[in-house]
């Protein structure tokens, strides 16, 4: 089915937890190796659950039996691992507030309907149950942790097995069946369960893809609207936290046992309407590009301008992660404690620095500034550099100043705003960019005036949503 080729090519993202016992890890790996593009949650010809039954049911039971401490074991009772998609859990962990005011959870009867509702597609029933069991797994793991968040003595193997089960469920959500008579609107139903999500970055730069950015926006909007419902009324801090936890449980399990629910029927109805609406929005967002950002939409001038840097950009990303050797003599430094997006920003600035020509068909030779840098590293004077290169001392001095300017411009825009994904620059710099735009200056001239790289200024201009007179950055 659509995108399963991508999922199967990245099975290492769903690897077994290293704390798992050997028997469980071996069975887990057999299950992963047995998955194919034809597999699906409901297929009889290429089934998944018999594979899980043969290799993981017994191994998980051994892990559970091997731990004798006190934990929320009942959360996993009522069904073996291979049957969890067909049977909802008998118990669930209900968020509650302790007498001390802190947030806790207690195990209560789930009150879930045990039979699939009439008219509900089988795959939706399985996915719903997997979400319910995943919530139980999460609370069960929490009950195995000590006050410092570390597994209790002897619980490491069980924690690893339960975490691996959660990873397996996350993987299997992608294996929805192909279009059938029961799913006539399947193309419209491709959503976050069939499409790999998480943060995906543009292939040509450091920015999030169009789809990832849209999903981030939807998450923020949903959280804001849910907060308005949950915070309605006057409640103490502990009860407020419990209401939040129950709202999230409602999102996952679609059900709250009324015996200990702190949300009214009206609030539950409002929250369900919010979750349903944003679910539909995520279905629409699933059709957006996961490979490119809004700056590099295929066919745009910026896309064509940066496409020739693709191979060099990907190679330098490998350099920054220690998997390859740099083709540059002068390398820009990573900011302190850089995250992945800031690493990608350094790679982008490096290959767009103009230090030497980026030729996709052959390896580019070092540019003048790089040669000057290498001689400077050897301790040569400017006169010696000029004699060796056959140019004037003024040209050497100009090259050194250009390197210093490049390094300063990159450093000024190397730290990224986690909200916008663009450079974290002072307010007066943004004002200066706005003034330059009002005067009709092109991005290259603005970058020189505010002492930032052209790519950084281009992103800030787009973020400010101010059209500039001379088009895209060339």
Instruction: Render 29-61 in DSSP notation, one character per residue.
Output: HHHHHT--TT--TT-SSS-SHHHHHHHTHHHHH
Residue 166 and residue 173 in contact, taking contact as beta carbons nearer than 8 Å? no
d(CA 71, CA 304): 57
CA dihedral 263, 266, 269, 272 (to 10 degrees): -40
Residue 317 and residue 343 in contact, taking contact as beta carbons nearer than 8 Å? yes
- Phi then psi for residue 108, to 5 deg, are -130, 165
pLDDT value at position 262? 84
The band of 375, judged by pLDDT with boundaries at 50, 70 and 90, is: very high
- Phi then psi for residue 121, to 5 deg, are -60, 145
Residue 404: its H or E element: helix 393-412
For the stretch 302-324, what's the b/e string if a residue is b when 16 or more beta carbons lie within 10 angstroms of its beta carbon?
A: bbeebeebeebbebbbebbeeee
460: Cα within 13 Å, side-chain hemisphere: 28
- Phi then psi for residue 92, to 5 deg, are -145, 160
Range ranked top by mean pLDDT from 175-179, 196-200, 359-363: 175-179
pLDDT at 181 over 60: no
Count CB neighbours of 246 within 10 A. Answer: 23
Tell me the pLDDT of the chain averaged across its residues.
86
pLDDT digits (tens, 9 = 90+) for 395-422: 999 999 999 999 999 999 999 988 889 9
62: Cα within 13 Å, side-chain hemisphere: 13
- Phi then psi for residue 106, to 5 deg, are -125, 150
300: its two tokens: 């745009």
Alpha helices in 286-309 (DSSP H): 301-307
pTM, rounded to two decimals: 0.68
d(CA 262, CA 268): 10
d(CA 39, CA 333): 46
Closest to 327 in 3D by CA, of 313, 340, 339, 341: 313
239: its two tokens: 């009860």
Contacts of 251 (CB under 8 A, 6+ apart): 271, 275
Alpha helices in 146-264 (DSSP H): 156-172, 186-189, 210-230, 237-253
Domain ranges of the chain: 1-89+108-196, 209-293, 301-464
Closest to 286 in 3D by CA, of 184, 218, 201: 218
- Phi then psi for residue 265, to 5 deg, are -60, -40
Find the range with the poorest average confidence among 66-80, 282-296, 372-386: 282-296
443: its two tokens: 């991005």
The band of 116, judged by pLDDT with boundaries at 50, 70 and 90, is: confident
pLDDT value at position 306? 94
Max Cα distance, the chain (Å): 88
pLDDT value at position 250? 83
Placement of tokens 């603005």 in the chain: 446
445: its two tokens: 């001239």
The band of 386, judged by pLDDT with boundaries at 50, 70 and 90, is: very high
For CA atoms 215, 216, 217, 222, give the dihedral sign.
positive
d(CA 148, CA 416): 32
Number of H helices, E strands in the chain: 19, 2
Residue 204 and residue 306 in contact, taking contact as beta carbons nearer than 8 Å? yes
Q: What is the DSSP letter of 82?
A: G
CA dihedral 89, 95, 98, 101 (to 10 degrees): 170
pLDDT value at position 46? 85
Closest to 231 in 3D by CA, of 186, 262, 198, 193: 262
Count CB neighbours of 412 within 10 A. Answer: 18
9: its two tokens: 């090519």
pLDDT at 177 over 90: no
pLDDT value at position 103? 63
Q: Which residues are registered as beta bridge partners of 106?
A: 94
Contacts of 142 (CB under 8 A, 6+ apart): 105
pLDDT value at position 460? 92
d(CA 15, CA 10): 10
pLDDT value at position 362? 56
């Amino acid at each position: 089915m659509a995108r399963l080729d991508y999922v199967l090519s990245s099975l290492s993202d769903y690897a077994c937890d290293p704390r798992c016992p050997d028997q469980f890890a071996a069975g887990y790996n057999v299950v992963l190796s047995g998955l194919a593009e034809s597999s699906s949650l409901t297929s009889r010809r290429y089934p998944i659950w018999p594979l899980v039954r043969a290799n993981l049911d017994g191994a998980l039971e051994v892990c559970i039996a091997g731990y004798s401490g006190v934990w929320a074991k009942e959360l996993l009772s009522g069904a073996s691992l291979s049957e969890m998609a067909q049977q909802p859990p008998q118990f669930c962990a209900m968020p509650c507030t302790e007498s001390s005011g802190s947030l806790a959870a207690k195990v209560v009867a789930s009150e879930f309907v045990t039979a699939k509702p009439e008219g509900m597609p089988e795959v939706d029933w399985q996915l719903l149950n997997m979400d319910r069991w995943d919530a139980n797994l999460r609370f069960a793991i929490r009950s195995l942790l000590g006050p410092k968040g570390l597994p209790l003595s002897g619980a490491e193997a069980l924690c690893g097995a339960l975490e691996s089960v959660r990873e397996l469920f996350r993987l299997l959500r992608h294996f929805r069946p192909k279009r059938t008579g029961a799913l006539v609107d399947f193309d419209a139903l491709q959503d976050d369960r069939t499409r790999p999500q998480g943060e995906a970055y543009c292939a040509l730069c450091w920015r999030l893809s169009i789809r990832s950015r849209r999903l981030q926006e939807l998450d923020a909007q949903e959280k804001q609207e849910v907060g308005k419902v949950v915070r309605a009324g006057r409640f103490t801090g502990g009860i407020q936290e419990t209401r939040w936890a129950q709202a999230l449980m409602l999102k996952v399990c679609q059900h709250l046992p009324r015996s200990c629910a702190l949300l009214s029927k009206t609030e539950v109805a409002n929250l369900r309407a919010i979750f349903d609406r944003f679910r539909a929005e995520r279905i629409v967002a699933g059709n957006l590009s996961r490979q490119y950002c809004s700056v590099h939409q295929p066919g745009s001038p910026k896309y064509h301008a940066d496409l020739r840097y693709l191979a060099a950009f990907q190679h330098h990303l490998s350099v920054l992660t220690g998997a390859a050797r740099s083709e540059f003599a002068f390398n820009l430094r990573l900011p302190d404690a850089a995250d992945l997006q800031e690493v990608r920003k350094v790679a982008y600035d490096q290959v767009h620095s103009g230090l030497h020509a980026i030729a996709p068909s052959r390896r580019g030779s070092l540019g003048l500034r790089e040669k000057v840098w290498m001689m400077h590293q050897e301790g040569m004077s400017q006169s010696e550099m000029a004699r060796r290169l056959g140019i004037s001392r003024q040209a050497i001095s100009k090259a050194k100043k250009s390197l210093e300017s490049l390094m300063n411009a990159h450093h000024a825009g190397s730290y990224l705003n986690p909200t916008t994904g663009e450079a974290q620059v002072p307010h007066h710099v943004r004002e200066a960019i706005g003034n330059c735009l009002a005067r009709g200056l092109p991005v290259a001239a603005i970058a020189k005036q505010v002492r930032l790289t052209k790519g950084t200024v281009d992103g800030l201009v787009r973020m400010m949503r101010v059209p500039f007179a001379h088009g895209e950055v060339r």
